[in-house]
Amino acid sequence: MPARVEISHLCKSFGPLRAVDDVSFTVEAGEVLGFLGPNGAGKSTTMKMVTGFLAPTSGTAVVCGHDVLEAPLEVKRSIGYLPEGAPAYGEMTPRGFLEFCASVRGLSGQRARSAVERAVELTQLQGVTRQRIETLSKGYKRRVGIAQAILHDPEVLILDEPTDGLDPNQKFEVRALIQEMGKDKVIILSTHILEEVDAVCSRAIIIANGQLKADGTPEQLHDHAWGGRALRVGVLGAQQGDVSPVLAGLPGVERVEFLGGSDHATPVAGAPAAGAGVAAPTASANGLLVFRVWPSGGQDIRAEVGRCLQQSSWTLAELSQEQSGLDRVFREITTSGGASDAATASAAGEASR
């Protein structure tokens, strides 16, 4: 039976705080799932519940057919887990530590030796196996943690920030390792580095405030970003109340948002001076007014907007496309007001499966 992790309606409360709120998803073998979210979003807590370290307040996780509440030992056997910060016993050597893990996992003799050899090789720990772990650099410590997680060649790998603290070369190697192993395993990794999702993940889930906000392939999330890719439009010599309806009336425009104005016509919207503009936008009759224009359905409406404003009596001072990519999707979804976008992305993810 191919490996599979099913998480259903997982909730965890710490007192009044709802750290994880009704999170459900399924990961199949061959998928590398990137678990994205700001710090404190509930990524680690979710992972701790799937690995059986924390008991869920409600809901459960089924790993390779075993329910984590009913058969925690079977679940722990089939999972390799790298906890956040890659904790390990500092007074031990990497070899001693891995041998300990092997023996707890019921490997002995030749099987234990070859498992330790393999893990050491894959994580390139050869040079430091006889040094105490507490004397190792952060990168090596992290690799000891990864070696411990892959030691028993588990069907499911759960890695909490596997590349945190690694230098770019080490990051590259760890990502290559994850991709290699991801072919026949379930891999769930958490990260807040978005390029990592592009680099290794076949699917990404965004979680914020304990809730699942988006679920799809990195491409789908990119498309979503393109669909919501807004224009920044700066106009001189106009009144906000006049410009907004004009822009909103253009074909292909979904929505217009006024970002602020400046009396000094400095092209820096959002600067402190803009505050006054927001309070009394009509006052800045001769200043720069900055708008965000949302296209509908991913159209490129730059030409449209440019032409319209050239024909008007106002001066077009700025016209640019806002930065795209996962980090914008991420920011949008994980800060408040991204609910509708989340639904879109989530639906996209649903349709893909």
Partner 1 sequence: MNPTLSIFRREFRGYFATPVAYVFLIVFLLLTGVFTFSSDLGNFFGRNQADLQSFFGFHPWLYMILVPAISMRLWAEERNQGTIEMLMTLPVTMGQAVLGKFLAAWAFTGVALALTFPVWVTVNYLGDPDNGVIVAGYIGSLLMAGSYLAVGACISAFTKNQVIAFVVSVMALLVFTMAGWPTVLDALPDAVPQVLEEAVASLSSYTHFQAIVRGVVDVRDVLFFVTFTALWLFANAVVIEQRKAS
Could you say which residues in the range 71-90 bind partner 1, by CB under 8 A?
73, 76-77, 79, 81, 83-85, 87-90
Cα Rg of the chain (Å, integer): 25
Closest distance to partner 1 from the beta carbon of 105 (Å): 6
**Residue 92 within binding range of partner 1, rule CB under 8 A:** yes
Could you say which residues in the range 7-26 bind partner 1, by CB under 8 A?
14
Do 158 and 79 meet the contact criterion of CB atoms below 8 Å apart? yes
Strand partners, 311: none
- CA-nearest of 86, 75, 57 to 6 is 75
Closest distance to partner 1 from the beta carbon of 158 (Å): 9
**Residue 188 within binding range of partner 1, rule CB under 8 A:** no
Strand partners, 282: none
Closest distance to partner 1 from the beta carbon of 72 (Å): 8
Nearest residue (CB) to partner 1, 129 versus 321? 129
Strand partners, 20: 12
Closest distance to partner 1 from the beta carbon of 87 (Å): 4
Interface characters, 26-55, with partner 1 (x: CB under 8 A): ----------------------x--xxxx-
Could you say which residues in the range 124-163 bind partner 1, by CB under 8 A?
145, 148
24, 70, 104, 137: which one contacts partner 1 (CB under 8 A)?
104
Q: Amino acid letter at 238? A: A
**Residue 95 within binding range of partner 1, rule CB under 8 A:** no
Do 130 and 93 meet the contact criterion of CB atoms below 8 Å apart? yes
- Contacts of residues 221-226 at CB distance under 8 Å and 24 or more positions apart, as own/partner, are 221/326, 221/329, 221/345, 222/324, 222/325, 222/326, 222/329, 223/298, 223/348, 224/329, 224/341, 224/344, 224/345, 224/348, 225/324, 225/325, 225/326, 225/328, 225/329, 226/298, 226/324
58, 108, 286, 320: which one contacts partner 1 (CB under 8 A)?
108
Residues within the interface to partner 1 (CB under 8 A) = 14, 48, 51-54, 73, 76-77, 79, 81, 83-85, 87-92, 96, 100-101, 103-106, 108, 145, 148
